[in-house]
């Protein structure tokens, strides 16, 4: 269970880092890529969290 929690925390951290990069990116295309990456990572983390709590994904 600790491994799952650590993985979840890592996903959230990487999503936060992607958002930080998005916020400082000057290129519109890069900004969009990091925005999509951050959104995708947050959705993955949400799914992992639901799976850990025993809810249907």
**45 occurs within a structural domain:** yes
11 touches 48 (CB < 8 A) = yes
**41 occurs within a structural domain:** yes
**8 occurs within a structural domain:** no
Tokens representing 17 are 């880092």
**34 occurs within a structural domain:** yes
Q: What is the pTM of this model?
A: 0.85
Tokens representing 4 are 């799952």
Q: How many domains does the chain have?
A: 1
Domain that residue 23 falls in? 15-49
Tens digit of each residue's pLDDT, the chain (57 residues): 678 889 999 999 999 999 999 999 999 999 999 999 999 999 999 999 999 888 654
Q: How far apart are CA 52 and CA 11, in angstroms?
A: 14
Q: How far apart are CA 36 and CA 21, in angstroms?
A: 12
Q: How far apart are CA 36 and CA 19, in angstroms?
A: 9
């Amino acid at each position: 269970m600790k491994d799952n929690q650590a993985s979840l925390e890592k996903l959230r951290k990487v999503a936060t880092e992607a958002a930080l990069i998005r916020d400082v990116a000057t290129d519109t295309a890069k900004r969009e890529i990091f925005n999509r990456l951050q959104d995708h990572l947050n959705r993955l983390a949400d799914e992992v969290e639901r799976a850990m709590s025993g809810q249907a994904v």
